[in-house]
Chain A
Amino acid sequence: MMTNKLAKSSAALVALGLVLSACGGNNAEEGQSASTAPAASGTAGSATGEAGGWKGTITMYAQSYTPNSKNIAGLKQQTGLQDVANEYEAAHPGIKIEFVDEEFKDYTQTVRVKAAAGELFDVFWGQWAELNNTFPKGIAEDLTPYFSQPNPYIPGKATWGDAMNATVVSETKSPEGKSYNINGDYVATAFFYNKDLFAQAGISQPPSSWSELVETTKKLKDAGITAMSQAPDYDWFQRHFLSDFYAKEFEQIAGFDQSPGVSSLDQSVAIVKGMLNTSDERFMGWWPMFKTLTDNWKPDYLSSDPGVVGSNARNDFLAGKTAIFYDGSWLPENAKDANVSFELGSFNFPVLTQADTPYTTGTDVSGAVGGPNAAFQFAVATKQANSTMKEAGKQAAVIDWLQFVGTPANVERIVNEHGTFVPTWPDTKPAESMTELANQASNELKALGVGGSSPNMSKNMQRIFGLYLSGNIDLAKATSDVQKELNSAIKEYQSKNSVDLGKY
Chain B
Amino acid sequence: MTGKAKLKTALTGYAFILPTFIFLLWFMYYPVYQALIGAFTDWDGFNAPRYIGLDNFVRLIGDEVLRQSTINALIWVVLSIVLAVVPPFLVAELIFQLKREHAQYVYRTLFVVPIVIPGIVTILLWRFLYQGDGAINQLLEAIGLGSLQQLWLGNPNIALYSIILMGFPWISAFNLLIFYSGLQSISTEVLEAAKLEGATGWKRVWRIDIPSSFPQLRLIIILTLIGSLQNIIPPLIMTNGGPGYSTYVPILHMYNVSTVNGEFGYGMSIALIMFVIILLLTLVNMKLVKSES
Interface residues of A (CB under 8 A from B): 4, 7-8, 11-12, 14-25, 27-34, 106, 108-109, 112, 115-116, 134-139, 298-305, 307-308, 312, 384-385, 454-456, 459, 463-464, 466-467, 470, 472-473, 484
Contacts and interface: CB of A to CB of B under 8 A. Distances in A.
A278 to B, nearest CB: 17
B226 to A, nearest CB: 6
Question: Residue among A22, A32, A33, A302 with the most chain B CB within 10 A?
Answer: A22
A12 B244 contact: no
Given A12-B279, A456-B256, A112 B240 contact: no
Interface string B222-240: 1000100110000001111
B261 A455 contact: yes
A58 B111 CA distance: 54
Contacts of A456: 256-257, 260-261
A36 to B, nearest CB: 12
A464 B244 contact: yes
A268 B32 CA distance: 37
Shortest beta-carbon contacts, A-B, top 10? A24-B31, A303-B243, A136-B46, A300-B132, A23-B271, A136-B44, A20-B35, A305-B240, A20-B32, A23-B35
Contacts of A134: 260, 262
29 contacts: A4-B286, A11-B283, A15-B226, A16-B275, A18-B226, A18-B230, A19-B274, A20-B35, A20-B36, A20-B272, A21-B35, A22-B271, A23-B271, A25-B31, A27-B49, A108-B260, A112-B46, A135-B262, A136-B45, A136-B47, A299-B151, A300-B133, A303-B154, A304-B153, A307-B240, A308-B237, A455-B260, A463-B245, A472-B243
A34 B261 contact: no
Nearest to A463: B244
B254 A23 contact: yes
Nearest to B290: A4
Given A34-B47, A139-B46, A467-B156, A20 B31 contact: yes
A137 B244 CA distance: 30
Nearest to A28: B46
Given A135-B262, A300-B131, A456-B261, 16 more contacts: A8-B286, A12-B283, A27-B34, A27-B43, A30-B49, A31-B48, A34-B47, A112-B45, A299-B132, A303-B151, A303-B243, A305-B239, A305-B242, A308-B238, A472-B155, A473-B244
A301 B240 contact: no
Contact of B31 (A21, A30, A33): A21
B21 interface: no
Interface in B126-183: 131-133, 151, 153-156
Name the interface size band of chain B.
35 or more
A381 to B, nearest CB: 12
Contacts of A32: 47-48
B46 to A, nearest CB: 3
Interface in B261-276: 261-262, 264, 267-268, 271-272, 274-275
A466 B242 contact: yes
Contacts of B243: 303-304, 463, 466-467, 470, 472
B258 interface: yes
Interface string B27-53: 111111111101000011111110000
A257 B267 CA distance: 32
